[in-house]
Structure 1
Amino acid sequence: MKKEVAFTCELPNGIHARPANHLEAVCSQFKSDITLKNLRNGNQGSAKSVLSLVGTDTLLDDPCSLIIEGDDAEQAFETLAKYIQEEFPHCDEELVVMEQGDVLMPQSLMRHNPTLIHAKRLSAGIAKGKLVRYTDVELSVFDGEEASMSFADAKQAVTESLLAKAETANGQEKEIINAHLGILKDDALNDQVNAMVKQGDSLARAILKTVAAITDTLLQSSSDYLKERVLDIKDIALQLLITSHPHLNVLTEFTLSEPSVVIANDLTPSQFLGLDRAYLKGLILTQAGSTSHTVILARAFNIPAVSGVAIEQCASQEGETIYVDGGLGVVAVETSESVAAYFERAIWLADKKAQVEGEFVHQAAQTKDGKGIEIAANIACTVEAEPAFAKGAEGIGLFRTEMLFMDRATAPDEDEQFNAYKAVLEAAEGKPVIIRTMDIGGDKPIDYLNLPHEHNPFLGYRAVRIYPQFLALFHTQIRAILRAAPFGHTKVMIPMIQSIEEIRWVKEQIATVKAVMDSEGVSYGEIELGIMVEIPSVAFIMDQFCKEVDFFSIGSNDMTQYLLAVDRDNDNVAKLYNSLAPSFLRLLDAVVKGAHANDKWVGLCGELGANKKVLPLLIGAGLDELSMAAPSIAPTKAALRQFDSAQCRELFEQACNCATIADVEALLDTFSRAQEDKPLLATECVLLDCDFNSKEEAIQTLVGNLGIQGRTHLVSELEADIWAREEVFSTGLGNGFAIPHTKSDNITHSSISIARLKKPVRWSEDEDSDADFVIMLTLNKDQGDQHMRIFSGLARKLIHESFRNTIKNMATEDEVIGFLKSELAL
């Protein structure tokens, strides 16, 4: 007897492993032969075989038939007709992918049930080492002891010691040392100590009381930055106490003898610098904030660091090997073999990524056709300069000097500012440095200036608008910059300019400062003067501004919100903030064309500059420079070389003529697909003879390698997509093969990744599911049905033993690629 059940496939993902398994289970109840026939492509396969069902390449809306032949065909028909209509359409659903932008905990870690202590992320990277508790010196040991020298002598000795260290220190250490020298000169400290000594207190007690009073005041502040200065005060106090009480033989040396992760309640900058960085692999600080000098040093030296972990939480692990992931913000303790394997593999992947990106660090930034675009760094403090240049910065596109003025009791004096600007210019070694004058007010208030509270500070009394009221402050900054100018290529940028009157006033003030310096015989250097383009009114009189200034730098963040009248920090309207708005692109075009028509240089220093998706538009706009956070520099240089500047210009012109943001995004997606220069199959995605211990390690490595090769910029998100599919149904196909797969927006270049394992790993709970050959499919959603076509094609091939044996025994990556291209007709 022969029966037939006709139906249209309603499954959103087609017939893949999970629905195939459901259908196979129902069909296997019957003795009759049951065949699924796909009427769209003519493929057919046994409905009692998961691989055969997958091999039919059945997709959403495909017309199909179940052909039933055998003694119980009537019974099978009744059951299957009802099943196909009522149950089969609901055995699968559209895969839900986590939102982008979140910090995702990798499933390849979480599936091993790790013991994690969650912490605040301070400095990225992964550290492995023995947990060592830092033993600090209690200041109270000095209480009641008589000093061997006066306060003045102790202060002089500490000053000389710091100056000696500064002579051999690099930029990062020198910056912290200069800060400590400033504390030694602080009147509040000196006056209080001297007053207490005169009143009869011992020097030790006077220092301790003064430090307690100052730190109590700082700790009551609402400013985290000021609270974090407590460590610097205690640092200097300890040095003064040790120096003035040598007979106590108080030692501050803390010796590390093997790779270590140091945990401490507090760690002062000098204590950090005293640690042997050959053995210091990571830091766990219970209280440190992101602006702590110790944390700034940790970042500068690439030491992973987290905070907010109580020592008691880790006490039982002292002397044991632990891992700190500064990117995820976790401390992993009591690590099992599988958890340790995850972190070891993560460290390996990070090293590989650094090697690949390192190839572009010192290469000139240019497009595929040789058009140069300067890639510069945005920095907020002096210590960031050297690491930025080490990461490939071709200049400093934005030095946010307001950070020198914020979270302190008084403004920095001329010498402090001069030293800061000079340090950055020296680190640049002739590369251009754009120093933005203080952008104070608005979202960056300064307590000691007593600026009025405003309902709309972004449009109010800020930046250049406050300079006339605080003229001495502005003149001091200009003097400091002019004095530093001889030490490098100095460019000065004025923020929040909206009229010719404002820039002319600024130029008059600079001339006044120069005249005073001339009369005093103070030498200074020449500067280039530019403005921050963030207020749209500037674009309409670019021809006039070009007569007044030497360069322009577009602040894309503020220019977008001013143009669109959207407060990007207001959740109610933040969704309207988008720099892909055609109006913004036209404004960008007007600024660049206006500048270039008058032979003026124009850069962009907003967050948009590091957005890889938008990069071809920025190239097409004709910008001379893009400035960004230092970690984005090498990847951006690598991405630049994928694009042709003429094609990018055509793209930009098309985008400017779009009607909606959605139209621009669609145009970018189409352009990205057309620019695909990474083949679906490539040797860079073939890993032979891998020593994996688990399915999790295999997926972690294959997805991580896609990040290393520049095929995805969203590694964690892409891995989540893979595991979302695995949660639906295991992709182990038997015979030692597994095909993990996803169709995702998180893959830039659709890829087939291959891993041949030295030993099989368990792919599912099924004992026959061990896999020693993994073929991972990661295809972009815009690739249509290619995802399931390749999957079903592979499934059909893997049925044949000859195919399996041939691919497993390939000697080289090239052989594997050639074989698959031929067999899959790719």
Structure 2
Amino acid sequence: MHNNNKELTLSAPLSGPVLTLAKVPDPVFASGAMGDGIAIDPLNDTLHAPCAGVVIHVARTGHAITLRADNGAELLLHLGLDTVELQGEGFRVLVKEGARVSNGQPLLRYDLDKVAQQCKSLVSLIILTNSQAFQARPITLKSVRVGEPLLHIVARLNNGAQVETEATGIEVRAEVRIAHRGGLHARPAALIRQTAQGFKSKSQLHFAGKSASCNSLIGLMSLAIGEQDQIQVSAQGPDAEAALQALLAALSTALAEDSHAAAPVPVTQRQRPAEAGVLHGVCAAPGLVAGPLFRLNAINLPADAGNHDAEQQLQVLDKALTQVRSEIDGTLIQAKRHKHTDEEAIFAAHLALLEDPALLDAAALSIDQGMAATHAWSHSIDVQCEVLQQLGSTLLAERANDLRDLKQRVLRALLGETWHYDVPAGAIVAADELTPSDLLQLSQQGVAGLCMAEGGATSHVAILARGKGLPCMVALGSALLDQPQGQVVVLDADGGRLELTPSAERLAEVRQAQLDHQQRRARQQAQAHTPALTVDGVHIEIAANVASSLEAADALANGADGVGLLRTEFLFVDRSTAPDEQEQRLAYQAVLDAMGDKSVIIRTIDVGGDKQLDYLPLPVEANPVLGLRGIRLAQARPDILDQQLRALLHVSPLSRCRILLPMVTEVDELLHIRQRLDELCSELGLNQRPELGVMIEVPAAALLAEQLAEHADFLSIGTNDLSQYTLAMDRDHAGLASRVDALHPALLRLIAQTCAGAAVHKRWVGVCGALASDPLATPVLIGLGVSELSVSPVQIGEIKDRVRHLDARQCRSVSRDLLRLSSASAVRHACQQHWPLR
């Protein structure tokens, strides 16, 4: 459907979870080089037309179709990533170029299993190739079914009109052989267009008697240029020679992902010679432990005779699903209570998967055909896992393991087994691949370490193991599963080694190392309640990040000098109505009471964008991290902030309460809220107001630190957001998360500038982001001028101990030099050299 102002609503061409382009595991699509759009991770085998229009291009390999909608928008529908390499195998195109199609009409069918097993990823794209004339606005970022509303396409105000100047000057030409694997399909074509758009000259490609402008993605793909084809490139205009050379380089250099090499084997496996009695793997969580090896086995089902009563089996499955949902709900409540955010995110995803109609419908269909509930559930999960684990994507492989977790949990409920492994404390657990649920239980049973034949260092299990402090190794290979039960082994996760036949001397050495570590931790804890002074007498306050009064009490018991960040979102999420002023006041007062006589920094509500509240409907945003969040939401809904400020002004004693404002980018935002705070103090008859601080989590705030410090009482640096905004990398992006490192010199320069700006007005600066909890970063932050570090409660003793071994003068001197380094890895290496971790 469309109307006179060229607006168009696209319906979903596939069924499945919706992803923003930034989440697509492919740098060309993710960068937006091909244009605006959205992605779907498909669960069905047919691509449908998202609107009425004309087919203007069909890829020769059948994996992509381009439509021109009636309003002029050109839409590339690209099924899977790197599917061009299948050369049409598994695809059946149902329409021809020039055909008129209706909304919802099937365009192509594909063999789901065959394609999934052979391509990089099934994630499919809907790209607006003439984004200069139109823009795409997502309607939903949740799962969709074919035909449901997906995108609004809106004409840009200038209608995309571009003044075409006639190309003048000498035309230059050259020939080149195409290096891109699969030829000039959509992804390399997008890079060629991007290259050409960097020059004023007009550029064209010429092949087999046809020509196409380098500005036209459709034109370039329509040339049907294959790998190793010889083509001609021409450029005409004021910078024609430079444009030609740039295009020749782009055409003759394969994309990094086009390398014909097999997937790299982890370094720990690839470069080590075979060693008798040792299995090599990848470190997922550090540590060195010894103990008896204990093998965990998955549930194996006997053969199913079939012909079961469908109604009765559906009831059995429903009862088991209800039981598992209840178990996961309990896990989520505990994770939220203790602010285990990684754990919470993982099990929230499990709950969503457990309600996925694709799984439930497949199981119900098998039951209708006479299958037992156990086998129907197992089969529906296995089918999805088979597809996911063949895709070569870490992100999707993790999801397959999450599905296996749900398979095991539901099977246990169906079979009536109590979900309990009889594992002795101190054992080293071996398994093909552990699931998050396994890990939580094993951790409670006191196992010493974990090792897996499969798995990856970025999996959910690895994340949880690091959070629990459990040494963990993955990718040890199938030989792990052949080891005898009960033999004593050494798990050296730091070195990527599982020693199967350690000598008595080696076992004694490992036990001594463990003892040294325990004694060091005990010494740190014994000193945790004394101030953290550097060797030259500089006091650094070590506070705690908390999200409840329970955590505040835990922080005080661990030696916290105060609360450096109380996240108030815990009061607002997972409920149908907002907390009233009284509920908020009681919650804030409980945190102050739990901290004895120490100060508490309370951050005002930081939701919006990607953190939604059910009772506060906000518009869907294409870039939620850059949208209505933090202080911007407070400006849009001043009633919410007013109520929170009133609740804060009622706590006692007010002198121990400090208020922190998130996502500030300019001084006016601070002045506005400071003025409102003063007005509320007057209304309530208060003759003092709490200290008011600003979070430095966007580069603009760091660059304006001096101006903000003139009106703020303190500054607190949130390194997590500051990292992703400075490096332009989403910290949740599967392919980029490991590169979002707050020790990047660019981040350090912003921290240095923040401290220098604050010093002009004699304001103190704290750090409450993850960098504060990294012992390697402690000397750098002290050297740059930070005087407060807010860390996880369990790390207070360790960070205080780190401070006591540092000389602040040397920290200042070396940190200045670190600002001149070129990368985060160079900074980390220099820190290890100057301040080695003991």
TM-score normalised to structure 1 length: 0.46
Over alpha carbons, which structure has the higher Rg? 1
* Larger relative contact order (Cα-Cα within 8 Å, sequence gap ≥ 6): 1
Q: TM-score, normalised by structure 2?
A: 0.46
Specify which structure has the higher proportion of helix. 1
